[in-house]
Amino acid sequence: MRIRESAVAGQFYPASKEEIRQMIDYFNKLLDENIKDKEIFKIRPRSIIAPHAGYIYSGFTANFAHRLLGNRDAKTIVVIGPSHRVYLSGTSVSDYDFYETPFGNLKIDREVVEDLKEKFSLSFYPEAHHEHSTEVQMPFIKFYNPDALVVELVYGDESPLNIAKIIEYLLKDPKIAVVISTDLSHYYDIEKANMLDSICLKAVNELDPSQLHRGCEACGKIGVEGMIIAAKDLRLKPILLDYRTSADASGDTSQVVGYMSAAFVE
């Protein structure tokens, strides 16, 4: 039994399930108190975009998307994120049996893993999977979709068109959902960050991949572009859920990181 052990528990998110649950309860309390149109809590996304910074900074934004994804009751959730630690040519699929989280292990969907390896000639590069962009999504998945199977895809030097083909292939199965992991701009002052991030938001909201190349600095831009292309082809509608920066948590507006979440619905 091969387990993808947690690499950033206690750093990007608490290692204690009780602490994570308290954070999620707090995020949901804020959502319930501040979202006027409660109908949004009923949507059932096929896919979401969620950030991957520390929970104290981006957890609220990520939780909003994962809470809605929980409505989907997906059999399998495929998490796609960029490699930050190692150079990677193409996309690696996590070839383990289980994925560790503080809430307990998630079972990896071996059938989908083998299918993707065969269909798209994906390989497994173990060093690419000590990756926080994908890992931080997993506790949310285990919390909201405790029985879901997961697949982890980490990409490096990759074509957005290749990612789009994978997403489209996956979403042809109504029992599969996709999570695209990205943060937005990094370490600009708040005004510059808001300006750059607005380009990313516009690209998602208008399903216009060309906008991404007009100043969007998302670290997961390849995955976002792949998702936009796939959403257009599959006629999915984007819904922007939340945007904020690290300044909302730290109060420091001189060097911020931007975060967004979005849902794609039929």
Confidence of residue 1 (pLDDT cuts 50, 70, 90): confident
Q: Distances in Å between the alpha carbon of 84 and those of 60, 128, 169?
A: 22, 8, 26
- What's the whole-number average pLDDT of the chain? 97
Q: Give a yes or no: residue 54 inside a domain.
A: yes
Residues 219 and 64: beta-carbon distance below 8 Å: no
Tens digit of pLDDT for each residue in 30-57? 999 999 999 999 999 999 999 999 999 9
The percentage of the chain sitting over the pLDDT mark of 70, rounded to a whole number, equals 100
CATH value at residue 125? 3.40.830.10
**Average pLDDT of span 65-88:** 97
Q: What SS3 string covers 90-153?
A: CEEECCCCEECCCCCCEEECHHHHHHHHHHHCCECCHHHHCCHHHHCHHHHHHHHCCCCEEEEE
- Identify whether 87 is part of a domain: yes
User: Does 51 map to a domain?
Assistant: yes
Taking the CB of residue 265, how many other CB atoms lie within 10 A of it? 16
Q: 35 in a domain, yes or no?
A: no
Using a pLDDT cut of 90, give the percent of the chain over it: 99
**What is the number of domains present in the chain?**
1
84 pLDDT more than 90: yes
Q: Cα–Cα–Cα angle for 182, 185, 187, nearest 5°?
A: 125
Q: Domain for residue 25, yes or no?
A: no
Q: Could you report the per-residue pLDDT of 181-223, keeping only the tens digit for each?
A: 999 999 999 999 999 999 999 999 999 999 999 999 999 999 9
Q: Give Cα separations from 133 to 23, 28, 35, 53 (angstroms).
A: 19, 22, 27, 8
d(CA 138, CA 145): 10
Structure confidence by residue, pLDDT tens digits, 123-156: 999 999 999 999 999 999 999 999 999 999 999 9
Integer distance in angstroms from the first to the last C-alpha of the chain? Answer: 37
When pLDDT is averaged across residues 98-114 and rounded to a whole number, the result is 98
Structural domain contains residue 7: no
In a domain, 156, yes or no: yes
* Helices and strands of the chain, counted as H and E runs: 9, 11
Name the 3-class secondary structure at 199: helix
Domain that holds residue 159: 40-265
Q: What is the pTM of this model?
A: 0.97
Residue 97 is assigned to a structural domain of this protein: yes
* 42 backbone dihedrals φ, ψ, rounded to 5°: -100, -10
Confidence of residue 105 (pLDDT cuts 50, 70, 90): very high
Rounded to an integer, the average pLDDT of 97-116 is 98
Q: How far apart are CA 144 and CA 58, in angstroms?
A: 17
